[in-house]
Amino acid sequence: MTTAIGAVMTERIIAGRLQDQRLTGGVLRYPEDHAQLDSLSAVPAGELIEILAGLISSLAKNDGVDAIGVALPGIIRHGVVEDSPNLPQIKGMRIEEDLASALSDRGISARVHAANDADAIAAGVAATRGQLDKLVRVWTIGNGIGYGRWPYVEGVWEGGHVVVTLDPKERYCGCGGVGHLEGIVGYRAMRMRFLDLEPEEVFAQARKGDARCREFVELWHRALAAATASFIHLAGPGRFFFTGHNVHFLELPLLRTHLETMVRMSPLQSFSLEVLPIDDETPLIGAGVSALRALTK
């Protein structure tokens, strides 16, 4: 029996205990109030580490834990947060080393493994569906756009910053780059583009036939299709999952229509598209599974 603890730090922190890749017991959350989402951006980096360590130690129960996995937004490589636009205070943090030190002070010595939050969702999907031997890719659609891949291979994989247009006016991405997927599909970018309408209103007006809004909804889906097509051409077909707080904007038939115009080589056309409901369990399981897999490397 393998035991791991998974933790995810995005809009809030959640943590859970896994046995044999299954979540056991309840999920711990900080803050507990759902209305306080995005409050972590104001918490100092050192305090975030202490909060994480406190939740994990509550789950360790003074018995054997094989590995501890933590998933975060941004570029996470070799245990270092190289960049994290959504949690800028953790940029440069040696997350594995710092968390391991805080846990050691609490008598916990299990190895810590850090991963990108979208990669954790992909790992969780693979684990819960018994597909750890298959290629799984996930788009997370929210304020930013994440791209997750299982199994993990070395690389940056910032799929939200794939260039999907050469229009020099497309400057809405939070990183400042021109023509990025996130600059069209991301929630923040949509709010900047439509100063007179909220994104929900844009999609609602499009359904009512408003020409300006319908034109943007087409662009939104074409952009996501273009990024997906790029990864199909790089790594092959397979299943793509879509999740995140704003996945309700997605019209799968429309996405597929655009994607089929972009992927024309017959060996690459065996792809499938599926929307995932939002839940806490999948990324937690993925964080734990990724940590356990890292032990074998």
CATH of the domain at 167: 3.30.420.40
Q: What is the mean pLDDT of residues 136-163?
A: 94
* Mean predicted confidence (pLDDT) in 201-210: 98
Contact 290, 113 (CB under 8 A): yes
pLDDT of residue 37: 60
Spatial contact of 157 and 147, defined as CB atoms under 8 Å apart: yes
In a domain, 147, yes or no: yes
Summary mean pLDDT of the chain:
94
pLDDT value at residue 38: 66
Q: 89: pLDDT confidence band, cut at 50, 70 and 90?
A: very high
Amino acid, single-letter form, for residue 262: M
Q: Please name the amino acid found at residue 133.
A: D
pLDDT interval class at 11 (50, 70, 90): confident
Question: Residue 161 carries which DSSP code?
Answer: G
Longest dimension (CA), the chain: 61
Q: Give the pLDDT confidence of 19-52 residue by residue, as tens digits.
A: 988 999 889 999 987 666 667 888 999 999 999 9
Asked if 81 and 30 touch (Cβ cutoff 8 Å), the reply is no
The number of folded domains in the chain is 2
Instruction: Answer whether residue 284 is part of any domain.
Output: no
* Domain identity same for 201 and 103: no
Q: What global pTM score does this model have?
A: 0.92
284 confidence band (pLDDT: 50, 70, 90):
very high
Q: Are residues 132 and 112 in the same domain?
A: no
Q: How far apart are CA 124 and CA 110, in angstroms?
A: 21
285 in any annotated domain? no
150-159 burial: b if 16+ Cβ within 10 Å, else e: bebeeeebbb
Distance CA 126, CA 134 (A): 7
Query: 235 with 162, same domain?
Result: yes
What is the per-residue pLDDT across 166-180, written as a single tens digit (0 to 9) for each? 999 999 998 899 999
pLDDT at 39: 78
In this structure, are 71 and 149 located in the same domain? no
Residues 142, 269: one domain?
yes
- pLDDT the model gives residue 217: 98
**135 in the same domain as 91:** no
135 and 105 in one domain? Answer: no
User: Which residues are registered as beta bridge partners of 249?
Assistant: none
Residue 185: what pLDDT?
98
Given a cut of 70, whether residue 118 has pLDDT beyond it is yes
Residue positions counted in the chain: 297
pLDDT for 43-87, tens place per residue? 999 999 999 999 999 998 766 899 999 999 999 999 999 999 889
Closest CA to 161 of 137, 141, 148, 145: 145
Q: Which residue has the tokens 């580490």?
A: 49
Give the domain range for residue 190: 123-275
Same domain, 145 and 243: yes
| Least confident segment among 19-33, 186-200, 221-235, 273-287 | 19-33
- 71 and 127 co-located in one domain: no
- Tokens 């969702």 correspond to 121
Task: Name which of 39-43, 180-184, 207-211, 289-293 the model is least confident about.
Answer: 39-43
CA 139, CA 145: separation in Å to the nearest integer?
7
Among all chains, which residue has been given the structure tokens 């100092």? 44
Measured CA to CA, the distance from residue 278 to residue 270 in angstroms comes to 26
